[in-house]
Amino acid sequence: MSNAAIFLGWNRPFQGKEGAAMDLMSRLNKWLEKLKNSGEITGYTRVWLEPHGGDLNGFVLIEGEVAKLQALKQTDEWNDGIIRLGLAVDGVGINHAVVRSAVDTEEARVRKVLKE
């Protein structure tokens, strides 16, 4: 299992763009499944949050090897998709993430720096 991920989060569709946003979510799911089957990513988790008054209402955590995830973010498919998503959905955010044992490594790094 990999210890790296891309966090892709969003708020809610722009008014009048709800249908386009749902279509994009379906396309995203199909594309991620293709990437998983080809070995470009190791897996992904889609999450929708219940209404809570915040500005994060859903996200997908895309897992894989760091180099493959970095390469993925340089592709036209990724960048065109992010543009499409940003035109339909408010609050799109992308961040590198660590998961599983890499979280322990990052916590240890913070503890080390705190002791300096």
Give the model's confidence band at 4: pLDDT under 50 very low, under 70 low, under 90 confident, else very high: very high
pTM above 0.85, yes or no: yes
Q: pLDDT of 18-69, one tens digit each?
A: 999 999 999 999 999 999 999 999 999 999 999 999 999 999 999 999 999 9
pLDDT digit string (tens) for 71-92? 999 999 999 999 999 999 999 9
Q: Is the Cβ–Cβ distance between 13 and 88 less than 8 Å?
A: yes
pLDDT at 91: 97
Give the type of residue at 6: I
Asked whether the beta carbons of 88 and 12 are under 8 A apart, the reply is no
Q: What is the 3-state secondary structure (H, E, C) of the chain?
A: CCCEEEEEEECCECCCCHHHHHHHHHHHHHHHHHHHHHCCCCEEEEEECCCCCCCCCEEEEEEECHHHHHHHCCCHHHHHHHHHHHHHECCCEEEEEECCHHHHHHHHHHHHHHHC
- Residues ≥6 apart with Cβ < 8 Å to 23: none
Tell me what pLDDT residue 3 has. 92
The CATH classification of domain 4-115, taken from the options 3.30.70.100, 3.40.50.11260, 3.40.50.2300, 3.30.1330.10: 3.30.70.100
